[in-house]
Amino acid sequence: MSARPLLLIVLGLVAGVAAWFWQPWQEGGRKRLFAMVEASQAASDGGLSASAVISDAKGGLEADIVVRDLSLPWDLAFLGDSEILVTEKGGSLWRIDLGSGERRKITGTPDVRVQGQGGLHAVLLHPKFSDNGLIYLSYAAAGEDGKGAVTHFMRARLDGTRLTEQKLLLRTKAPGDRGQHFGGAMVFDRDGYLFVSVGERGYRDDAQKLSSHNGKILRLHDDGSVPKDNPLVDTPGALPEIWSYGHRNPQGLALDPVSGRIYEAEHGPQGGDEINVIERGRNYGWPVITYGREYGTGIRIGEGTTRPDIVPPLHYYVPSIATAGIAYYAGDAFPQWKNSLFVAALRGHLNRVQLNPDGTFAKEERLLSDRDLRIRAVRVSPKGALFVVADDGVILQVSAKP
């Protein structure tokens, strides 16, 4: 065979493989490929012991769709027992009555730049929302130079179906020309400090640079000002908002109201998703210390999985489950699940991590895998029911069977 036909055949094969690899996730191409590679990785790394995982535990549960026909919903917050705020990645914020089904669009939302994984992300109520009506939003918008997209955090007052008194709390200092790893999770601690997350935006080494917000958990006052006792306030060259660093894409933050611990769900690469307990001023390793590997090739990232100065994860996932949002459960609807973390898994289930009384990992359980949903967020209602947000455009309520 001459060189020209052979070259055409090779180019055709390459184009076919590329088309198969980049087809939408739902069609299963990338999912099958990553599953095969990660199965090999799990075997070589030891993976998760069978005793630590209970797969597809469904007994005693009902999962009912309570909201449909959303466009890439990202997060929700409860205004009361039967009313929620819901964000859509494209920039819409909705006020939805779960009883009547009425949905009203909120005006006064920020200008969002949808770029790759970026858009309108989390919504959070102020701890004293019933008194002050304040809510918080995280979103992607243009950087200081008007180019690209960086993670922003804002506060506003909710007045019926409009936002007023909008205030930009923070435009992160980070390169903005890439479309991945925006973070955007938010949570208040017991003392009223606001913790927010920023992904490393695909610039891995930035997670270790204290001059960048990329790959960090930040701590702010509720008005966006910097607490004077933040760990790096007096460190030359370091950004004062930083609370912890060495994170890849922290997409979930949750508070244990009893112990005061803040838990983080971190989306790793191929393998290496993590659940972390966030500590003051500590380094969480990315991209130097990680269980993750390169997509497709399976080549190890970094120099190892442990180092004395790096905080190890509370729990890690090999193979990856594609962690997203996280919630701590202290409700009464499922007393057997108290002291558990619920983790949204974009790979199609709701992950429950049972904690020991001292906060260490005990076991995990995988729920709702029969629904085949890309689960983006999980929240606990005032009555202790679980609400699950899925990229598929639905919100489900998970409750006990009568």
- Strand segments, DSSP code E, in 12-102 are 53-54, 61-67, 73-78, 83-88, 93-97
Residue recorded with tokens 């598929």: 392
Residue from 121, 126, 152, 181 carrying the catalytic annotation: 181
What's the CA gap between 21 and 321, in Å, rounded? 19
Distances (CA, A) of 232 to 144, 214, 282: 23, 15, 11
**Which residue has tokens 């964000």?**
87
Helix, coil or strand: residue 6: helix
Nearest to 75 by CA among 125, 134, 124: 124
> Which pLDDT band holds residue 3 (cuts at 50, 70, 90)?
low
What is the per-residue pLDDT for 13? 39
pLDDT greater than 80 at residue 261: yes
Nearby residues of 181 by Cβ (< 8 Å), 6 or more positions away: 117, 199, 200, 201, 202, 248, 249, 267
Q: Are 291 and 46 in contact (CB under 8 A)?
A: no
Give the integer Cα–Cα distance in Å for 398 and 378: 10
* Span 25-48, pLDDT tens digits: 333 444 444 444 444 454 445 554
Does residue 66 have a pLDDT over 50?
Answer: yes
pLDDT in tens, 117-138: 999 999 999 999 999 999 999 9
Record the tokens describing residue 14, joined without a space.
Answer: 């390459």
Say what the pTM is.
0.88
- Position 115 pLDDT exceeds 90: yes
Question: Stretch 193-216: mean pLDDT, rounded?
Answer: 98
Three-class SS state of 52:
helix
Q: Name all domains of the chain by residue range, CATH numbers in brackets.
A: 29-58+70-382 (2.120.10.30)
Please say if 152 is a catalytic residue.
Answer: no
Checking if the pLDDT of 303 tops 50, the result is yes
Is residue 143 scored above 70 in pLDDT?
yes
68 compared with 3, residue with greater pLDDT: 68
Query: pLDDT value at position 230?
Result: 98
d(CA 170, CA 154): 7
What tokens were used for 143? Answer: 């950087």
- Residue 400: the pLDDT is 66
Question: In this predicted model, what pLDDT tens digit does every residue of 236-258 receive, in sequence order?
Answer: 999 999 999 999 999 999 999 99
Q: Which pLDDT band holds residue 17 (cuts at 50, 70, 90)? A: very low
* pLDDT for residue 234: 97
